[in-house]
Amino acid sequence: ARRGLALGRPVPPRARAMQKAIREYNGKKLMSKFLKDEAGQPLFHCQAAQVKSLADLETLPSTEPWLLTAKLVVKPDQLIKRRGKAGLVKIGLDWEGVKAQVRAWMGSSIELEGVRGTLDCFVVEPMADMS
């Protein structure tokens, strides 16, 4: 059996850390649901939308009205490292700009660090004010 950190006790199989790659959108939703303070209040509020098809571009504003009023960030949500350096993060867009960018990216083939893939999932978030 695997031993616990500096304790010398066996670690039960269910307590072992799992490593599973998940999308940014899913990770943020999990954090907002399960990370709570001492009073049980969420530590993190996830305001994000996931675009998996061009049809989502027409339906999302009805369930996520903030998309129509906020400055937005859009990026592929496909476990790609260094998206910013690759030009795959667009900031300060309005909803029309996001739709145009997703349409341009959707289904396109890219190659980063020797790995080739097709862009088919995106995350849209409000742009954070860093001032």
Is residue 40 predicted with pLDDT exceeding 90?
no
Assign 115 a pLDDT band (cuts: 50, 70, 90): confident
Is residue 30 situated within a structural domain? no
**Segments forming the whole domain that contains residue 114:** 47-126
Is residue 82 situated within a structural domain? yes
Is residue 104 situated within a structural domain? yes
Output the domain CATH number for residue 64: 3.30.1490.20
Q: Report pLDDT for 41.
A: 84
Please compute the mean of the pLDDT values over residues 22-48 and round it to a whole number. 85
Is residue 13 situated within a structural domain? no
Domains: count for the chain = 1
Cα 84 to Cα 86: distance, rounded to the nearest angstrom: 5
Is residue 23 situated within a structural domain? no
Alpha carbon distance, N-terminus to C-terminus of the chain = 50
Is residue 106 predicted with pLDDT exceeding 70?
yes
Please compute the mean of the pLDDT values over residues 60-70 and round it to a whole number. 96
CB contact at 8 A, 112 and 86: yes
Is residue 91 predicted with pLDDT exceeding 60?
yes
Q: 116 to each of 49, 71, 108, 112, how far by Cα in Å?
A: 25, 31, 11, 7
